[in-house]
Amino acid sequence: MDAELSESGAPALEALGLAKRFGAVEALRGLSFAVRPGELYGLVGPDGAGKTTAIRALAGLLEPDAGEARVLGRDPQRGGAVFRESLGLMPQQYSLYRDLSVDENLRFFSRLYALPRAAYRERRQRLLHLTRLDRFAGRRADQLSGGMYKKLALACALLHEPRVLMLDEPTNGVDPVSRRELWALLHEFVHGGMTVLVSTPYMDEAERCSRVGLLHAGRLLLEGPPLELLARTGAQTFEELFVQRIGEAA
């Protein structure tokens, strides 16, 4: 492991006053939050809250107008090869090759990451097993259900075994059973030592995170461990709590 990338105590991911404007729209308005190593942090917010913009800034895919993004202590737009290898991203619109099979997609992405053949074989087997896609290895990506497609995208984003994984709305539009399976997978990765940032528009998914931030109109309205948030506010559900806070902020 790269010693420089493993300073203990430092956040794995950090947004420091991020601002981003698209024409008249202020997508991010001074967004600050930090994800500690080994956390499963949920960025929860309605459509248009700024989730995708925040993740793109953290992944180094978008230059903020103000503020800074930090990933493993570095500017994600300037990190080198070792840094890039430690980062995994599953964008909201994940493009797999639809006319390639599950197996062919995995092989394609393994070549992109220049994985040695032996490592690829071992990881392919483990990821197909984890995602329960083993039986569908020969199926074309465009013949998969929505949930299976997301799981294949996740497997492709994990082939290079990143230390920090960002997933943008992985459960959006996925059926409840597959949603549950995706969250179970994320919990397994976190138990294995990975740091995970996940965004979701589904307020009830807050309970599945170790810490959650409520994002609205480009900034955080509320943050904390999910059960603590409920206890602190006396709310019965995350929906009740979040909808009320968003109403107050409007």
Can you tell me which residue has the tokens 């009740």? 240
Least CB distance to ligand ADP at residue 140 (A): 29
What's the DSSP call for residue 132?
T
Backbone angles phi, psi at 61, to 5 degrees: -95, -5
- 25: partner contacted, choices Mg ion, ligand ADP, none (Cβ within 5-8 A by kind): ligand ADP
Q: Which is closer to ligand ADP, CB of 10 or CB of 221?
A: 221
Least CB distance to ligand ADP at residue 29 (A): 11
Among 20, 45, 49, 52, binds Mg ion (CB under 5 A): 52
Instruction: Specify which residues 42 forms β-bridges with.
Output: 198, 212
List CB contacts of 72: < 8 A, sequence separation 6 or more.
5, 10, 12, 79, 83, 86, 87, 163, 164
Backbone angles phi, psi at 17, to 5 degrees: 60, 40
Q: Taking contact as CB under 6 A, which single stretch among the options 21-29, 80-88, 121-129, 134-142 is the one that binds ligand ADP? A: 21-29
What's the DSSP call for residue 211?
E
Q: Tell me: does residue 200 bind Mg ion (CB under 5 A).
A: no
Strands 25-35 and 13-22: antiparallel
Among 48, 67, 73, 224, binds ligand ADP (CB under 6 A): 48
Please give the single-letter amino acid code of residue 119: A
Q: Which is closer to Mg ion, CB of 13 or CB of 133?
A: 13
Q: Which is closer to Mg ion, CB of 51 or CB of 124?
A: 51
Among 14, 31, 51, 110, binds ligand ADP (CB under 6 A): 51
Instruction: Specify which residues 68 forms β-bridges with.
Output: 16
Q: Taking contact as CB under 6 A, which single stretch among the options 41-49, 106-114, 143-151, 241-249 is the one that binds ligand ADP? A: 41-49
State the residues that interact with Mg ion by CB under 5 A: 51-52, 92
